[in-house]
Amino acid sequence: MLHGLKLLLPALIPSWRFFDTIAPSPRIEYALLHDPNAVAAWQEFRRRPARLSFAQMLLRMVWNPRWNESLYLVSCAERLMENPSAHSELEIIERLKAENADASAPWLQFRLVFVSRQGEGTRKDITFTSPVYRREAA
């Protein structure tokens, strides 16, 4: 409860500094492994759709759970870099496990890639690589 009260304080005296600087932006990449020592074939978690129709955008006004969860995972990735905690790592890995519940590979690993501007293009920096997790309890 005390921790909850501490987390409430920034809401009572907010800073409202939305987008004051455009910081490097995290992407979560994961790999499904058949062997914990195998070389990882990384793929981006929840790639955004190529295009959205206006009707889809309207629907998302009232029903947008996956996108909001993805934004939460962006927060977890940022927290993991700023103030590392088991909570953020666990939140990411639990959602990766849930999303890959039907995969045959028994092992899972993720990494954080921060994208930033370089000239007129972008660059990617790997800032965190997780341990290899077993997808299910043995």
Q: Which is nearer to another protein, 52 or 105 (CB)?
A: 52
Q: Are 77 and 70 in contact (CB under 8 A)?
A: no
Q: Token match 């929840």: residue?
A: 46
Q: Are 30 and 106 in contact (CB under 8 A)?
A: no
Q: Which is nearer to another protein, 4 or 131 (CB)?
A: 4
Q: Which is nearer to another protein, 86 or 138 (CB)?
A: 86
Residues 94-133 that bind another protein (CB under 8 A): 94, 115-117, 122
Q: Distance between CA 19 and CA 5 in Å, rounded?
A: 26
Q: What distance lies between CA 52 and its chain's CA centroid?
A: 21
Q: Distance between CA 100 and CA 92 in Å, rounded?
A: 12
Residue count of the chain, please give it: 138
26 binds another protein (CB under 8 A): yes
Nearest to 98 by CA among 50, 52, 59, 66: 66
Q: Total binding residues for another protein by CB under 8 A? A: 55
We find the least distance from the C-beta atom of residue 78 to another protein, in angstroms, to be: 10
27 binds another protein (CB under 8 A): yes
Residues 32-71 that bind another protein (CB under 8 A): 47-52, 54, 57-58, 60-65, 67-71
Q: Which residues here bind another protein, judged by CB under 8 A?
A: 1, 3-5, 7-8, 10-12, 14-22, 24-27, 47-52, 54, 57-58, 60-65, 67-72, 74-75, 79, 85, 87-88, 91, 94, 115-117, 122
